[in-house]
Amino acid sequence: MLRSRVALVLLIELYPAMTALCVSLFANIVLTTFALHKQIMESRIRQLEQQASAVPIQMNMLNAELQDIVRRYNGLVETYNQLLSEKQSLNRRKPEGSITR
């Protein structure tokens, strides 16, 4: 990029009649760079919009997984409490002189 700028300056110095051509070339370089940057940014915006639209779907999937984990956890807690209750009732039924392991 620096070489092209130097070349344009030298061309103007060497051939003053080509000043309009040099200005046009420089303007084309600037406008082309701007247009390329604009296209890249618009593409990036579209990509981000697509990712943002996928977020609610991912949240719903995570929420469903969370509910499943909570349901399984509650089932485990309920089973544990039942087993604990059964163990306590068995310990109460044993005679006082029995040996427990």
Summarised one tens digit per residue, pLDDT across range 5-43 is 777 677 777 777 777 877 888 889 999 999 999 999 999
In Å, what is the CA distance from 38 to each residue of 15, 42, 45, 47, 70?
Answer: 34, 6, 10, 14, 48
**Domain membership flag for residue 97:** no
**Domain membership flag for residue 98:** no
- As for how many domains the chain has, the answer is 1
**Domain membership flag for residue 95:** no
**Domain membership flag for residue 57:** yes
Whole-model pTM: value is 0.48
Summarize pLDDT for 85-98 with one digit per residue, the tens.
Answer: 988 888 777 666 55
**Domain membership flag for residue 84:** yes
pLDDT for res 62: 94
Which residues span the domain enclosing 17?
2-90
**Domain membership flag for residue 99:** no
**Domain membership flag for residue 21:** yes
